[in-house]
């Protein structure tokens, strides 16, 4: 309760390297803003894109903008001003927003797989199963699931007494790194919550895999190569985004302690927290 601020991990000790990281993260952030902003603008302004697939893509871009804006601006500011500090409230806000947005994104990617499954495997029922009301309800459910998950994680994490210092071994406030500062055995309840979240995430991933097995079986039955190409072109971007987020996220949280190292932790966290929001617009 006496901790008023946390110290984030510094990328470099020399001023030149700090400025290099400043420009690198600034370029990545601006690219993510531009790419996701263009998708949001295009989907909003073009009435031809007012379809379920692009509606969910709009939500994905909003989530990507939010998640990268939760972590990267603080890194940019700290590199520019040569500081490591983040306030207690700022750290709690990072934990909440990142858990909220990433949790909602995983749910949304699952819904997008369902959208592709209905479009390809049950095209005659597409307009009925995915009308505007159903799309809004599914998107709201994705955002709501992320919010509930974030509330539980944040409440559990910051209700624990912290007595192992205030240095977070990460460039943003990540739940496992904050838990390492706890001096109470009650952190086990948060670990169990993380396990439950990973299991739910794996359930979403399994649903996506089963959906794509059905999709590919249906696509291979399409007689024309042009039809197969069109079907694959609508599915492969989504599959690439899912693969990037799930592979890096699962490795970050499920890798064995024997191969864990500070450098590897930073690289993996960078891959699942910064790269997907910047790369998703290029994939789509």
- Which CATH number do you get for residue 84? 1.20.1070.10
- Taking only the tens place, the pLDDT of each residue in 148-190 is 999 988 988 888 777 778 888 888 998 888 888 887 665 566 6
What letters, b where the CB count within 10 A reaches 16 and e where it falls short, cover 237-250?
A: ebbebbebbbebbe
Structural domain count, the chain: 1
> 94 is in which domain, residue-wise?
5-282
User: Looking at residues 234-260, what average pLDDT do you find?
Assistant: 77
pLDDT, mean of residues 134-158: 92
Let me know: does 121 contact 231? Beta carbons within 8 Å.
Answer: no
pLDDT of residue 115: 93
Strands (E), the chain: 5-7, 85-87
The pLDDT score that the predictor gives to residue 112 is 93
Name the pLDDT band for 70 (thresholds 50, 70, 90): very high
Inter-residue contact 181 to 162 (CB < 8 Å): yes
Point out the least confidently predicted range of 11-15, 102-106, 176-180: 11-15
The whole-number pLDDT of residue 191 equals 67
**Average pLDDT of span 121-145:** 92
88-121 vs 132-157: helix axis angle to the nearest 10?
150
């Amino acid at each position: 309760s006496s901790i008023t601020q946390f110290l984030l991990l510094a990328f470099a000790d020399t001023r030149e390297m700090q400025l290099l990281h400043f420009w690198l993260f600034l370029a990545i952030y601006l690219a993510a803003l531009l790419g996701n902003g263009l998708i949001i603008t295009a989907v909003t302004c073009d009435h031809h894109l007012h379809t379920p697939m692009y509606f969910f893509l709009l939500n994905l871009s909003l989530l990507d903008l939010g998640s990268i804006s939760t972590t990267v601006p603080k890194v940019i500011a700290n590199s520019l001003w040569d500081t490591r500090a983040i306030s207690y409230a700022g750290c709690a806000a990072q934990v909440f927003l990142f858990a909220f947005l990433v949790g909602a994104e995983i749910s949304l990617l699952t819904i997008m797989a369902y959208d592709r499954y209905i479009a390809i495997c049950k095209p005659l029922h597409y307009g009925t199963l995915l009308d505007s009301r159903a799309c809004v309800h599914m998107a709201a459910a994705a955002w709501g699931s992320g919010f509930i998950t974030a509330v539980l994680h944040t409440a559990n994490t910051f209700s624990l007494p912290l007595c192992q210092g205030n240095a977070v071994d990460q460039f943003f406030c990540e739940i496992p790194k904050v838990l390492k500062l706890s001096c109470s055995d009650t952190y086990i309840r948060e670990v169990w919550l993380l396990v439950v979240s990973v299991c739910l995430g794996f359930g979403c991933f399994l649903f996506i895999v089963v959906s794509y097995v059905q999709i590919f079986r249906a696509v291979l039955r399409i007689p024309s190569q042009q039809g197969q190409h069109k079907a694959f072109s609508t599915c492969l971007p989504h599959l690439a985004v899912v693969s990037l987020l799930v592979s890096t996220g699962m490795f970050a949280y499920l890798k064995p302690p024997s191969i864990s190292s500070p450098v590897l932790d930073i690289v993996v966290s960078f891959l699942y927290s910064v790269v997907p929001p910047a790369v998703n617009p290029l994939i789509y």
